[in-house]
Structures are given as structure tokens and as C-alpha cells.
Amino acid sequence: DTVLTQSPALAVSPGERVSISCRASEGVNSYMHWYQQKPGQQPKLLIYKASNLASGVPARFSGSGSGTDFTLTIDPVEADDTATYFCQQSWNDPYTFGAGTKLELK
Amino acid sequence: QVQLKETGPDLVQLTQTLSITCTVSGFSLTTYNVHWVRQPPGKGLEWMGAMWNGGGTDYNSAFKSRLSISRDTSKSQVFLKMNSLQTDDTAKYFCARTTGDWFAYWGQGTLVTVSS
């Protein structure tokens, strides 16, 4: 299975820029997607196919990367962005998710 | 608008079978694929399997021997059945609809506890 590695946690101040990384154990082309999950809620799609902003998602969120290294960037970070962010690949079977990066605001 | 809702038991006994229904609205099961994803408490997400719009299925090999996904298009429902439950099957189970290969819409999930 394709293992997706994310840093476990980040802490930033409101107004700053934050980059969340996701590294795949094998190439996934551009088929990397990003989700935001708040406690007790279902995940919400933010970015699909590496760099495409999902409908209704603020332009503060952006994605980049291809192959094995991907980044979700939030600029500027707002208080409401406190959540866990997951990457997910759909290039290799089975679909897999990263373990998530918990974003906290200082 | 697109909606998915999971219904199932809160509690299942060890070694028994879990059955969850995903009822969808706002789209057709013959047009879009519906997947099952689970999340143990405090942990990450795990893809379980899919019901393709053409009626075929795909399963994560981690579950293949005990997982079954089916549907009733007339009722707009997708079903998950998993047998031989263990305590580490305790999780919130989500159904989700893909647009392309990404999970664009999710149900709220249903929390299932496996009890000994």
C-alpha cells in the first residue's frame, strides 16, 4: 500500500502562513487530495488533484506538488482553521490517507 | 443538494456482523461512486471499499475476506456488511461520494462500538 507521511502537529499564529507536507512512499502522479476535519465532524474536501481548490473553499488554501511530495498551504491562517488536515491518494490501489496533521493556533 | 446519511447500530457484539445503510439524495447511484471510509476514535481515516456506479465493487484487501458492499438503486441506498467484528473495528463509519477520484461529499458518519 502507498504510505502517506505527514508531520503530526503544527502550531502557528493567526495571520501567518503555514505549509503542511505529505510525502508518498511511491508516486501518485497528481492524484493527491486534501481534507480538513474538525472534532466530531466529517472530513471536508479542500484541494483535489494536488492543486485544485474545491468549491466554496477560501482562496487562502492552496495545494502544490506532484509525484511523491505535496504541500497544503494556508495563507493567512485564521482562528477557524484549527483542525486536522489529511492527505489522500487515489492513484494506487487501495486509496490511502495520511495520519493527519493537527494544526493549532497560538 | 447532495446528501448522504449513514444508519446503523451503536453497539455490536464481538464476532458478530455489522450492517450499515447509506441513504443518498441529490444524485443517482448509477452516475456516481459511493465509498466507505472508517475512522477509529482519535485516529486516522481508512478506505474500506467502493460501490461503483456500474454496479461493481472494490475492496481494500485488509477487509476483503469479511466485507461486502451492495446497493439498492431503487431506494438510493448502499449497504456495508462486515462480519467477525473485533474490538479494533470500533470506529466511526462514513459513506462518501466521489467526484472524479476524490471524496467531495461525506455523510456525518455513524459511530459503532464493538463490545465484548
The helix/strand/coil state of A102 is: strand
Q: Closest-CA residue in chain B for A88? A: B102
Q: Among B35, B61, B102, whose Cβ lies nearest the Cβ of A45?
A: B102
pLDDT band (50, 70, 90) for residue A17: very high
Q: Quick check: B64 pLDDT over 80?
A: no
pLDDT of residue A7: 87
Residue of chain A nearest B6, judged by CA positions: A42
Chain A residues touching B94 at Cβ < 8 A = 42-43
Mean pLDDT, all residues of chain B: 96
Cα B24 from Cα B32, distance rounded (Å): 11
- Interface contact A48-B104, CB threshold 8 A: yes
Per-residue pLDDT, B65: 84
Phi/psi at A53 (nearest 5 deg)?
Answer: -75, 130
Which of A31, A42, A86 is nearest residue B101 as measured by Cβ atoms?
A: A31
Strand order of the β-sheet with A4-6 is: A4-6, A18-24, A69-74, A61-66
Residues contacting residue A14 through CB under 8 Å, at least 6 positions apart:
A76, A77, A78, A79, A105
Length of chain B: 116
Predicted confidence at residue A8, as pLDDT, reads 86
Under an 8 A CB cutoff, do A99 and B44 touch? yes
pLDDT for B76 equals: 98
Q: Which three cell numbers stand for residue A64?
A: 502544490
**Residue A11 has what pLDDT?**
96
- State the pLDDT at residue B110: 98
User: At B18, is the pLDDT very low, low, confident or very high (cuts 50, 70, 90)?
Assistant: very high
pLDDT in tens, A31-82: 999 999 999 999 999 999 999 999 999 999 999 999 999 999 999 999 999 9
Give CA A14 to chain center in angstroms.
18
